[in-house]
Chains A and B, each alone.
Chain A
Amino acid sequence: MHNLLYRSNALFTVSTTVLGVMCLLTALTDLTHRPNVRLDASVRSVDGLQRDYGDDRAWLSIKLDLDLRDLFTWNTKQVFVYALAEWATPRNHVNQAMVWSRIVQQPRGARVKEVVRIEYPYALTDQGVNLRGREYNLTVAWETTPVVGALHKGGRQLGGLRLPDDYFRSANVPRGHWRG
């Protein structure tokens, strides 16, 4: 009985050690990969700027030209790609809001060439009424979830953007929206 117990213990120890080493080696292979991605983005139009439930809110159309296919290695489970707006106000030195995101699980989905709008559940809202004429940055970023190992990140910032000086609303702003 002891023999069986000790042998199964030894077998278990060896197999978990081997599995652990394999995981470690797999995670380390990420270090040799320098992904070559394209992250081109531009603001095609500002579709609206309104006071919404007491706070300023902006609507944008963003033109994306992304190629993330090179992020997919044998140790990539998924890629989360997203866009965020960042601005500073008298109240807050940093305001950040995610404005678009997508989960990519296959390399063929990693080519994004489209115009996207800020849609529920995302919203570009300020804490206060500071968005008129406000300068802001737009960042497109990605994050990989590995099969095993460390998460990897990257991104590109588009700076020096500015919102309009007055409130307005175009036909692209949906009526009856939710607060985000």
Chain B
Amino acid sequence: MNVRQLMLQTLNLGLIITSALIIWKSLILWTGSESPVVVVLSGSMEPAYYRGDILFLTMGRRPVRVGEVVVFNIEGRDIPIVHRVVKVHERRPGARDEEVEILTKACPTPPGGDANYGNDYEGQLYADGQRWLNRNHIMGRVIGFLPSVGRVTIIMNDQPIVKYLLIGVLAIFVLTSKE
């Protein structure tokens, strides 16, 4: 393999990585959500969403309303949560941050018990002393669904070795493929 070909292949790999980044960042701009594609990590929204399903999110300027499924962050928790909005109190039109108070809840009839039966305040899902979600906690609302594909990322997170193996194989393909 000559130097010229090696450079070309390296450039090719760089192009793939940067286009992936461009697509991701464009999606963020277009949807207004800081994380437009998320993987469901818990079974609390079954039977609608199972572990490993992929959700597509948007945020936009439209206010959050009861009935929407939203993804939100809680202070002190690493993983964002996907639940349905059951209450909204909004102080004024165009209200932001603390002027919007939102209550969420898991799926009404989770299989295997009633642990998620109450709302998320009663279920002590929110941070200590937190009664409501505010607008700034909301990352996006669910608008699209793709089943099961996210199981790959769950496996890769649980078994990091699979991730490195996969990245290694892909890199070999890109670097050695001929035209």
Give 5 CB contacts A-B under 8 Å.
Answer: A84-B66, A91-B91, A96-B88, A98-B85, A151-B142
Whether A96 contacts B87 in the complex (CB less than 8 A), given A9-B173, A105-B47, A121-B117, comes out as yes
Which residues does chain B contribute within 8 Å of A120, judged by CB atoms? Answer: 118
Which of A64-72, A107-115, A138-146 faces chain B?
Answer: A138-146
Chain A interface residues toward B at CB < 8 A: 5, 9, 23, 77-78, 80, 82, 84, 86, 91-98, 101-103, 105, 120-122, 127, 141, 143, 145-151, 153, 178, 180
Q: Does B32 contact A (CB under 8 A)?
A: no
A80 to B106, CA, bound (A): 13
Place the interface of chain B in its size category: 35 or more
Given A121-B117, A121-B122, A127-B89: A96 touches B65 (CB 8 Å cut-off): yes
Q: Does B147 contact A (CB under 8 A)?
A: yes
**In the complex, A98→B65 CA distance in Å?**
10
Partner of A92, one of B48, B90, B109, B143: B90
**Interface membership of B92, Cβ < 8 A:** yes
Measured CB to CB, the closest approach of chain B to A117, in angstroms, equals 15
Q: A92-B90, A92-B91 are in contact. Are A23 and B146 (CB under 8 A)?
A: yes
Q: Decide if B93 touches A98 in the complex (CB within 8 Å).
A: no
Q: Which chain A residue shows the least CB distance to B55?
A: A151
